[in-house]
Amino acid sequence: MFDRTGAASSTLRAVLWDMDGTLLESEHLWDIGVRELSLHLGGPMSEETRLATIGASSANALSIVFSALGLEQTPQALADAKRWLYDRMGEHFSAGLPWRPGARQALRTVRSAGLGSALVTNTDRELCEFALETLGREHFDHSVCGDEVPAGKPDPAPYLRAAELLGVDPQHCLAVEDSPVGAASADAAGCTVLVVPSITTVSESPRRIFRTTLEGLTATDLHALHSGTAV
C-alpha cells in the first residue's frame, strides 16, 4: 500500500491505457522487429540495447539502435530504418494480436463504471489503427499515438495530451502500464500508475501500484488502486 493525500487526488475519473504489452500481447513482437532491424542495419542487438528499447517511441528506439551500431543518424537513414521497421511490424501485426490476460474484460469494466478511457501508446497512428480493429474503438473516448505528441514516452506529453482530450486533470487518472518507459511517462504526467509487467521489470515509485494481472479487475479495485486504499 502507498500513501497519497488530498481529496482531489482520491477521485478517479478516467483510465489511460498503454497498448503494447498491456492490452495486447505485442511487446514481444516489437522485440522481434527491433532485433530484425538491428540485423538489417548491420549487427545483432545486445541485451542492454534490447532492454533500452522496450516501450520506447519509434524515434527513441531508432536512436538507441543506431547508437549501439555506431551508425550516423542522418534524417534519411532514420526515415529509411523507420519505414523498414514499420513495414516489418505490419507483417507481424497482421499475423494476429492476442490479448493480454484480463485486458478485454478490464476495458469493459471501465466502460460499465462510467469512467473516461483513452489509449496512450508510443506506437505511431499507422499501426495503432490496425491494433484498434482488435481492441475495439468503442472502448476508448480518445487515442494518443507516438507521432501525435512533441515527445513520446518517457516524456509526459502523451499522458498529458490524453488527460487534456478527456477534460480531466492527470491526478484524476489511473494509467495502466507494463514498461519502465511507460511508467515513467505516466508518473511524470501526475497520474497514478497501475503497473502490470510483461517482459521487463519496473521499479517502484510513490505513484506506482503493482498487480500481476488484469484478470479479475473490478470497478471497486480501480477506485481503490487510484486512491491508495488497495492492499
Please indicate whether residue 80 is annotated as part of the active site: no
- 3 domain-assigned: no
Residues 85 and 104 in one domain: no
Q: What is the pLDDT of residue 4?
A: 43
In the chain, the number of structural domains is: 2
Q: What is the pLDDT of residue 62?
A: 93
Mean local confidence (pLDDT), 209-221: 96
Distances (CA, A) of 179 to 112, 136, 171, 193, 198: 27, 23, 20, 11, 7
Could you give the CA distance from residue 183 to residue 189 in angstroms, rounded to a whole number? 10
Looking at the structure, do residues 105 and 160 belong to the same domain, yes or no? yes
Q: Residues 105, 217: one domain?
A: yes
| pLDDT reading at 28 higher than 90 | no
Q: What range does the domain containing 68 cover?
A: 27-94
State the CATH number of the domain containing residue 138: 3.40.50.1000
What pLDDT does 5 receive?
Answer: 38
14 lies in the same domain as 40 = no
pLDDT at 57 over 90: no
Report the percent of the chain where pLDDT is more than 70. Answer: 95
Report d(CA 113, CA 198) in Å as an integer: 26
Which of the residues 18, 20, 178, 187 is marked catalytic? 18
What average pLDDT does range 164-179 have in this prediction?
97
The residue among 29 and 113 whose pLDDT is bigger is 113
Query: Is the residue at 2 inside a domain?
Result: no
- Do 189 and 138 contact (CB within 8 A), yes or no? no
Q: Are residues 34 and 111 in the same domain?
A: no
Please report the pLDDT score of residue 9 as a whole number: 52
Residue 11 has pLDDT above 50, yes or no: yes
What is the rounded distance in angstroms from the CA atom of residue 153 to the CA atom of residue 158? Answer: 7
| CATH number for 72 | 1.10.150
Domain identity same for 83 and 166: no
